[in-house]
Structure 1
Amino acid sequence: MSHQDDYLRRRIAAHDAISLLKDGDTIVVPTGSAEPPRLLDALSDRRRELRDVKVSQILPLRKAGYFDAETCEHVRHVAYFFGGASRAGGQAGWIDYVPAYFSELPQLIRNDLTPADAVFSLASPMDSHGYFALSLGADYTMAAVGKARAVVLETNPNVPFANGACHVHISQVAGVVESDEPVIEVGLPTIGPVQQAIGKHVAAMIPDGATLQIGYGGIPDAVVMQLTDKNDLGIHTEMLGDGIMTLVEAGVVTNRRKNYLPGKMIATFALGSKRLYRFMDRNPALEMHPVDFTNDPYLASRNDNLIAINSTMQVDLIGQCGSESLGFTPYSGTGGQADFVRSANRSNGGKAFIVLPSTAKGDTLSRIVPTLTAGTHVTTSKNDIDFVVTEYGVARLRGKSAKARAQALIAIANPKFRDELTEAAGRMRLVP
């Protein structure tokens, strides 16, 4: 039987795909732009027919109908990371959260520590060899494909067929749903003067030939925009976005000087524009891999001069970073920040930058604080922290004493808060 015959036998309507589920199942859905809209709409429409079904996902972008407190006993979201669609439910308590390093989610799935009974994913059209590409989100989803009873793919001609370990064969698939609507797009964030100032500090410390990991957000993108005078940069990251594509097109990213997988950009998910998705299609310079490959500190650190750039919400005077909650109230999640901080620390010549504006709420609150707000989830520990950057400068903390850390952080705080931070550091016996 041909691959095309297998495909036709497995082709179903989105609403029929819901019949492949059982009560109590956990459906794994990939990151962001790789979530399948028709399948999730069908799940929402038929959610009252199900009982105790969970949807596990990092960063949902669309607020599907099953995001509903009144029907969560039927279908309930379980977050690996909170985003705009899931944050309110997480804060209200009817969406649950699984704390984990992004790099370790595939292992949790393979070892049955977190379930994966079904997979719903957006995918490229099938090629002549019977393969689909989960190019927009290989992440933890490839591990789930290996465990799930029912893998259902929503194929879409607007999804690129990328290279790398992101391919699923028709023989692994229980159902194929076809769609053709545009893939969700996420533009570059607005860059203000504070973000530009922080970006300038970081860009000045990135040497030619460095390999970059760029996190999500305005400040990391502000760094990218100030790298156009660099040469022979490389990419080993978790997220591929328009900023990186712009550097490739400008000739800044060549990947020639990478000493691990030279000539190749490596990522695990993509989030950007239609132009980015076209750029990814069969691009021989790009490979999309599962997150336990891209974010593994041992593997990523094989790149010399690995530069990790990630943002946080709060840093205390000992160097602990709270990047995922406001006190005990969840806001985002662990994601890959700790993975890449540890990767850069292991890298020969590597640098890990944690970036943040010095203040919040119209300059009424300092983001550099004596101690993290009670209940705050620590994302990057005091033992892993390297560089902290605000618009006022750079503090290198790695290898420094508690006293030296406090003094360095106070020096890059907003000037209006430096005196009270110094007084607090004195009470804490961090400074005389």
Structure 2
Amino acid sequence: MYKSVTAEEAVKVIKSNSRVYIQAAAAAPQTLIKAMTARYEELENVEICQLHTEGEAPYADPELSKSFHVNSFFIGKNVRHTLKAGNGSYTPVFLSELPLLFKRNIIDLDVALIHVSVPDRHGYCSLGVSVEATLAAIDNATYVIAQINTQMPRTHGAGIIHVSEVDYFVESDEPLPIHHMSEPSEIENRIGSYVANLIEDRSTLQMGIGSIPNAVLSRLTDHKDLGLHTEMFSDGVIDLILNDVINGNYKEINRGRALTTFLMGSKRLYDYVDDNPFVEMRASNYTNDVSIIKQNPKMVAINSAIEVDVTGQVCADSIGPNIYSGVGGQMDFIRGASLSEGGKAIIALPSVTKSGISRIVPSLKPGAGVVTTRSHVHYVVTEYGVANLYGKTIKERVKALVDIAHPDHREYIDKTYFELISGGKRLAL
């Protein structure tokens, strides 16, 4: 059905000045990545295009900058250093639009490195735990190299490709990267409680992974008939699905299915999604399409931020001018939830950083990026409560956000904001 080669032989199609796409998240093909990086002495100016990837990224070593340059569409911890080191760049793009960059040949690809399940008897492989822009990369790339992994789950949905679409196969048997769920802190649990109280029965959820989403999910056990339409999820949803809390019965899109474009978590999660038709994997230009998201009634989008100013502007991708992560799908889902019948767009964050710096601020740091505008946000939630900004004036927003800031910072935030705009003279805003 297919003929496998060694990883070293497969990656020889990568030449100097090639542009290579690497499948995202927990599906980053480590065997192929290591074989490609091992050729650094014979390669120059290879551009690596990627979203966030789990696992090692040896090509991101600044000492290999003559061989590899990292172009990130969303920046993870393993490549964050490349921006300051000079061997990396950041391309801002909505996750919903990333496949279009390849489909429209705005970014031409020479090679796609992908990670798939073992082919079935008909010759079809699954992209497993990550689809995002990989289908578009496969269609656009001159060469497609697939790492076939006996431990890659076979997931249902659109991430199915035939062996005829692949140029080189490399066999492997290795576990996927594990993303450990951290136990929510007291502050995160309080935030989780406030957010859970905003979620009605028969709502459809979008949320990422992390302590706050976990805290929210742990408080939904008494809810009924929830749906899941998200770009990613982790272990926190499994028990809710098994206990019929999440069943998708009242979604308008992909009813009766949990929809996502990538996932990462424990081996339990990977085992759960293996050959499970309830979980449907789709490309990100489908999962994150605002026109699709908004069709789900009571769509609830729960996202986080680095800081929020008192008018409601949300910075989620940078610390001042220094890019930290990326635009991702936040705006896709915030807008989709806003337009949904009964939908709610929520930004949830602790009131202060671990070092005690307020994350509700009079104004964003100089150079900070606005991922979500002040006109898009409905709710901002901290451990001190919920600020409903929808339909509110600037003056009303300032009061609502000061009220959920940390008490130690409230007077300063309020005073500093009005000094910034009026020299200390309060205006009707």
TM value normalised by structure 1:
0.96
Q: Distance in 1 between matches of 2:244 and 2:190?
A: 24
1:248 is the counterpart of 2:238: no
1:228 is the counterpart of 2:245: no
Q: Distance in 2 between matches of 1:246 and 1:23?
A: 48
Q: Which residue of 1 aligns with 2:277?
A: 284
Deviation string 1:103-150 (CA, Å, 9 cap, x unpaired) is 100011111112322111111111111111112111011111111111
Q: Distance in 1 between matches of 2:8 and 2:152?
A: 21
Q: Which residue of 2 aligns with 1:19?
A: 12
Alignment: residue pair count:
424
Q: Distance in 2 between matches of 1:313 and 1:111?
A: 32
CA contact (8 A) 1:217 1:311 kept: no
398 and 48 in structure 1: CA distance in 2 versus 1, 3 angstrom threshold: farther
SS in 2 for 1:342: helix
- Residue 70 of structure 1 deviates from its aligned partner by 2.0
Q: Which residue of 1 aligns with 2:395?
A: 403
Aligned counterpart in structure 2 of residue 97 of structure 1, from 85, 90, 112: 90
1:412 is the counterpart of 2:416: no
1:335-414 residue pairs with structure 2 within 5 A?
Answer: 335-363=328-356, 365-414=357-406
Q: Which amino acid aligns with 2:94?
A: Y
- The more displaced of 312-321 and 51-60 is 51-60
CA contact (8 A) 2:298 2:342 kept: yes
Q: Distance in 2 between matches of 1:228 and 1:130?
A: 41
Q: Distance in 1 between matches of 2:57 and 2:408?
A: 44
TM value normalised by structure 2:
0.96
Q: Distance in 2 between matches of 1:381 and 1:171?
A: 44
1:110 is the counterpart of 2:103: yes
Q: Distance in 2 between matches of 1:334 and 1:69?
A: 24
1:81 is the counterpart of 2:74: yes
- Residue 73 of structure 1 deviates from its aligned partner by 2.0
Deviation string 1:316-369 (CA, Å, 9 cap, x unpaired) is 011111111110111111111111101101111110110110011432x11000
- Residue 65 of structure 1 deviates from its aligned partner by 2.1
- Residue 398 of structure 1 deviates from its aligned partner by 2.0
Aligned counterpart in structure 2 of residue 294 of structure 1, from 282, 287, 304: 287
- The more displaced of 180-189 and 198-207 is 180-189
1:157 is the counterpart of 2:138: no
SS in 2 for 1:77: strand
1:41 is the counterpart of 2:34: yes
Q: Which amino acid aligns with 1:118?
A: V
CA contact (8 A) 1:200 1:223 kept: yes
CA contact (8 A) 1:45 1:65 kept: no
CA contact (8 A) 2:191 2:383 kept: yes
Aligned counterpart in structure 1 of residue 198 of structure 2, from 205, 218, 229: 205
Deviation string 1:146-184 (CA, Å, 9 cap, x unpaired) is 111111110111111111110111111000111101111
Q: Distance in 2 between matches of 1:431 and 1:304?
A: 39
CA contact (8 A) 1:216 1:310 kept: no
Q: Which residue of 2 aligns with 1:325?
A: 318
Q: Which residue of 2 aligns with 1:421?
A: 413
- The more displaced of 345-354 and 48-57 is 48-57
Q: Which amino acid aligns with 1:401?
A: T
Deviation string 1:263-284 (CA, Å, 9 cap, x unpaired) is 1111000111111111111212
Q: Distance in 2 between matches of 1:54 and 1:216?
A: 29
SS in 2 for 1:155: strand
Q: Distance in 2 between matches of 1:110 and 1:383?
A: 31
Aligned counterpart in structure 1 of residue 133 of structure 2, from 118, 140, 143: 140
Q: Which amino acid aligns with 2:289?
A: D
Q: Which residue of 2 aligns with 1:176?
A: 169
387 and 431 in structure 1: CA distance in 2 versus 1, 3 angstrom threshold: farther
SS in 1 for 2:212: helix
Report the identity percentage: 38
CA contact (8 A) 2:308 2:361 kept: yes
Q: Distance in 2 between matches of 1:47 and 1:319?
A: 46
SS in 2 for 1:204: helix
- Residue 421 of structure 1 deviates from its aligned partner by 1.2
Q: Distance in 1 between matches of 2:219 and 2:327?
A: 27
